[in-house]
Amino acid sequence: MKKKILITGGAGFIGKHICERLLNGKNYVYCLDNLYSSSLTNISPLFSKKNFEFLNHDIEKKIDINIDEIYHFACPASPVNYKLDPIKTIKTNVIGSLNILELAYKYNAKVFHSSTSEVYGDPAISPQSEKYFGNVNIIGPRSCYDEGKRCAETLFFDFHRSKKIQIKVARIFNTYGPFMQKNDGRVISNFVVQALNNKNITVYGNGKQTRSFCYIDDLIDGILKFMNTSKKITGPINLGNPHEIKIIDVAKKIIKLTNSKSKIKYLPLTKDDPLQRKPDIAKAKKILKFKPNININDGLIKTINYFKNE
């Protein structure tokens, strides 16, 4: 059956990939975005498709369209972007999620929510499983995003319990790949663009902080599998690649893979930057048979090739 699917944040990095995959399934896709931290160039190849519609809309305002499913991504996700206007970030997460849940309730739509590893804050345990409640600063510069996303999860589960909405809540860990915004400030796009231009690679702090990077195609597979699980599976489920790496080693790897003349430049660490991050994906493995296939070298080569042509 042809489904009517709404993708909020559809012009963003993950949203664009989801739009493409769902269009291939012959669904009718509404791509909603306010273009705050994304761009139309990401989705311009989709405009010619008959089953694709772009809605320039900010989810802080209510929306009413008859839909069967929602994928809710709308929110700036790069620390640089979400810290620019923290009050707007909170409104997007809280009021925006409320509006999306009310829409889901009205049309009895199943709704996927893109939560984040940031709900774990600067974690005191590693790896982070879904059972861990996190270590989040309530009043710091990252709190607008971290607490906003935590509150959004609460809203999703309250709507599920009280209004019986079908929800799928995923906690997405660092993801990278083609169609990341070149200048959104995230580590992989920053380092690749710097290396390709033989500019200094900006490592914040001593570079010993860790992240675990998942290639976009692996993440999209996990999201789509999750959306197709039975009603009783709500999450939260971690989605990411557990291969943990120090940021300094990411810098060195990218210099090598691009054959760059760039030097490493150390800059101060930003406040509350988590020192470690690694997903426990046992739950995703068990429930979704999720298995990231693309290792960091292969993923970086694909990403570097994309940025070379940008």
Q: How far is the CB of 1 from ligand UDP (least distance, A)?
A: 38
Instruction: Write down the catalytic residue from 145, 176, 266, 306.
Output: 145
Residue 28 bears catalytic tag: no
On the CB side of 192, how many CA atoms lie within 13 Å of its CA?
27
Dihedral angle, C-alpha 233, 239, 244, 245, nearest 10 °: -170
Choice between 112 and 173, CB closer to ligand UDP: 173
Residues that bind ligand UDP (CB under 6 A): 78-79, 174, 186-187, 190, 202-204, 209, 211, 247, 270, 273
> Which lies closer to ligand UDP via its Cβ, residue 36 or residue 173?
173
Q: Which of 28, 67, 71, 22 is nearest to 51 (CA)?
A: 28
- Phi then psi for residue 19, to 5 deg, are -55, -50
**Least distance from C-beta 210 to ligand UDP, angstroms?**
8
Minimum Å gap between C-beta 23 and ligand UDP is 28
Polymer length in residues for the chain: 310
* Other beta carbons less than 10 A from residue 40's beta carbon: 12
Q: How far is the CB of 277 from ligand UDP (least distance, A)?
A: 6
- Cα 179–291–245 angle (5° rounding)? 65
What are the residues whose beta carbons fall under 8 Å from the beta carbon of 135, sequence distance 6 or more? 120, 121, 122, 123, 124
Of the pair 42, 194, the CB lying nearest ligand UDP is at: 194
Cβ of residue 118: shortest distance to ligand UDP, in angstroms?
6
3-state secondary structure 90-108: HHHHHHHHHHHHHHHHHHC
- What does the alpha-carbon distance between residue 299 and residue 15 come to, in Å, rounded to a whole number? 19
Nearer Cβ to ligand UDP, position 27 or 93? 93
Q: Is 127 exposed, middle or buried (0-12, 13-18, 19+ CB in 10 A)?
A: buried
One-character DSSP codes across 236-290? -EEES---EEEHHHHHHHHHHHHT----EEEEPPPTT--S---B--HHHHHHH--
Q: Is 130 or 146 the residue whose CB approaches ligand UDP more closely?
A: 146
Least distance between ligand UDP and beta carbon 82 (Å): 9
Of 8 and 116, nearer to ligand UDP (C-beta) is 116
Which residues have C-beta within 8 Å of that of residue 270, sequence separation ≥ 6? 79, 141, 204
| Chain CA centroid to CA 171, Å | 9
What's the CA gap between 303 and 181, in Å, rounded?
A: 12
Q: In angstroms, give the least distance from the CB of 20 to ligand UDP.
A: 23
Question: Which residue's CB is nearer to ligand UDP, number 85 or number 273?
Answer: 273
Q: Which residues are catalytically annotated?
A: 145
